[in-house]
Amino acid sequence: MQAPWSRIPAVPAAIGFAGGILSASFGASVWVAALAACVGAALWLWRPARFFASLPVALAIGFMAAACEPRSAVPSEPPAAREGLLNTIYTSPLDGPAAAFVATTVVADSRYLAPALRDDFRGAGIAHILALSGFHAGIVAMLVMWLTRPMLAAGRARMLRPVVVLAAVWAFAALGGFSPSIVRASVMLSLLSGARLLGRYTSTLNALAVAALAILAWRPSALFDVGFLLSFGAVGGILAFAGPLNPFDRRTRPRLHAAASLVAVPLGATLATAPVVAGVFGSLPLMFLPANMLVAVLFAPFYVVALAVVLLSACGLPCALLARLAEMLYALMATAADSLASSISVAPSVAAVATFYFALVSALILLRRHRPRAG
């Protein structure tokens, strides 16, 4: 049975909400919102099209939300725990470059990150590692799930395990300043965990759309943030292309499927975000596939070790050996980024971007229609 939020038309609603924000940003008249609301009411009355009524209604709501959003928002103060963690990181046995990298990937503080390292990661196509995202939140969730395994044998307390995991994920999001990418991951994890707790299944695409609606309702101008576009574009590309590009079935050939995912997942994410990357940074990485494959192998163990160093340091316990291991893993990633940093300059036009996405959607339709049965 589906979870309740999987039955709502979140995907057309998210598209409509974003369209309303865009309409407001281009100076459209309020009559556009009124007309959209009327169209939504008409579609709701026509039962066969009721599912799509959410699109024009959400467009009207998105238009009003964008029009009413304050032009200047007061920046929120970071939680006190964030400064404490930063002090713990920089007073730990980690050396300077590794400590700066840990601070960037754990607490979203990149003040001391070397500009050359940032350029190397961007040139290699792995700059997403430097911004807290679903990858980081997923590692935190898996680590907390492993630490709370004893709760599975504690009777009714096992029901609290997902709550503990989600509390850790949202605390992590707070430390990262609630950036769009980390909020997106936290909302999706909350929906998927809630469905599992209820013994129901949920649509990952619907969860992605609900996360987009939550972020845009909270701050409509987030639609124009590069982090928002890259985060949702990457996940959308993975959901759309990772399956069709993977020739192996997860149930019958799980190991081969996992190995092929090292190529299919970054390829899907890169295809979907390439125009955004080219438009913002003026270049596209050439070696993103080998770079992402290496990061997929190295970053998860680094992150677990780095979190262990932070925790042990906060408790005043010795962690020199773990710090050396974290430094070694960091050095491997930095060397790989330096070796694989290679990009081409690109200046895409609006017509080129539209043509690219049209071709991308066409290719996706062909892939799904002609994909041979895995087995």
pLDDT at 337: 93
User: What percent of the chain is predicted at pLDDT more than 90?
Assistant: 23
Q: Are 148 and 161 in contact (CB under 8 A)?
A: yes
Instruction: Give the confidence band of 375 by pLDDT, cuts at 50, 70, 90.
Output: very low
Instruction: Give the confidence band of 120 by pLDDT, cuts at 50, 70, 90.
Output: very high
**296: which 2 tokens?**
């997929």
Q: Which of 101-105, 129-133, 339-343 has the lowest mean pLDDT?
A: 129-133
Domain residue limits, the chain = 225-286+343-375
pLDDT exceeds cutoff 80 at 1: no
CA distance linking residue 118 with residue 97, whole number of Å: 12
pLDDT at 199: 65
CA distance linking residue 129 with residue 131, whole number of Å: 6
Instruction: Give the confidence band of 374 by pLDDT, cuts at 50, 70, 90.
Output: very low
Q: Are 234 and 269 in contact (CB under 8 A)?
A: yes
Q: Which of 130-144, 235-249, 296-310, 361-375 has the lowest mean pLDDT?
A: 361-375
Model pLDDT for residues 46-74, shown as the tens digit of each residue: 877 777 888 988 899 999 999 888 765 55
Instruction: Give the confidence band of 128 by pLDDT, cuts at 50, 70, 90.
Output: confident
pLDDT exceeds cutoff 80 at 294: yes
pLDDT exceeds cutoff 90 at 257: no
- Within 8 A by CB and 6+ apart from 264, the residues are 241, 242, 243, 245, 246
- State the average pLDDT for the chain: 85
pLDDT exceeds cutoff 60 at 181: yes
Identify the DSSP state of 356.
H
pLDDT at 98: 93
- Within 8 A by CB and 6+ apart from 286, the residues are 342, 343, 344
pLDDT at 36: 87
Mean local confidence (pLDDT), 13-28: 90
pTM above 0.85, yes or no: no
